[in-house]
Structure 1
Amino acid sequence: MPRNSAFGELGLPRILSRLKEEIIELYLSADLPWIVGYSGGKDSTAVLQLVWLALAEIPPERRKKIVHVISTDTLVENPVVAAWVKKSLEVMEREAKARDVPIHPHRLTPHIEDSFWTNLVGKGYPAPRHKFRWCTERLKINPSNAFINRVVKASGEAILVLGTRKAES
């Protein structure tokens, strides 16, 4: 009976090996910093894990380029989720240093004037709705864009690495 696999004939081990090889080649091909978007979800975790595994295969003396990992804390997340993401960034930073992997995690937050409570209570905005999602740009997009702009200003360019699903599962 044929097996259905998302990885086809090659199988998972070969696909992972090829992905790591491609990441290594891209990492070594230019001196531009990388920025990995990380939410803690399946897609961003998968891409971050692949980048980490690839970097670990590069000899330490060739790991010159910083890989920034950015995670945006809206300051209104479920406290359990917020604590988990914060802890995962702390562990990531500690392990990256211990293993000499050039990954630098960053917890981004909105400016006070863009915060949920400043806009909801202070400015009188209505609660976000499907047709009026004022919060997404202010709480998530703006902090990420500000970080990316700082990196680009310092180095001229940056490579943005995002994990996105090919199709919904």
Structure 2
Amino acid sequence: MLRQLVSGLATICGYLAAGFLAAIAVATLVQIIARQFGQPVETTELSGFFLAASTFLGLAYTFVNGVHVRIGLVSEFAPKRLRQALEIWACTLAALIVGYAAWHMTAFTLQTYQFGDLSPGMLAVPLWIPQSAVAFGLIVMLLSILEQASLVLRGQKADYETNVDSAVE
């Protein structure tokens, strides 16, 4: 059940990431059309927020589906036991790094909310809003790494290995 929850969160984040990419395109299109009518519309700041959200929300989805850049040359030709040890080591290191980033980004987002910080641009958006997308994306990425590590620890193939094979075909 936990596996379905984490997988569902990663999928939702993937769709949100795609939506934010589409929002960048729409914002840029609005800016171009407005410029043709002599109305300057500034969307750079908003597009930057959308880009950050898209990048971090897309992390877990791309990881679980095997489309992150991975160097599998060493583990690909290693014996099964060594390969499993390498996968566990990689997942542990990734969990530590992403966990550290998630912890600090979440703390930073809460601090920004408490202080009521606003973006310095023309929109004056409360900064905790775009920061929360980054923090949430990192948390879901951490959960996905831990879930994939649990598969490897049980001797199963991780989804990022099995899904990449079907994505290539």
Q: TM-score, normalised by structure 1?
A: 0.29
Higher strand share: 1
Q: TM-score, normalised by structure 2?
A: 0.29
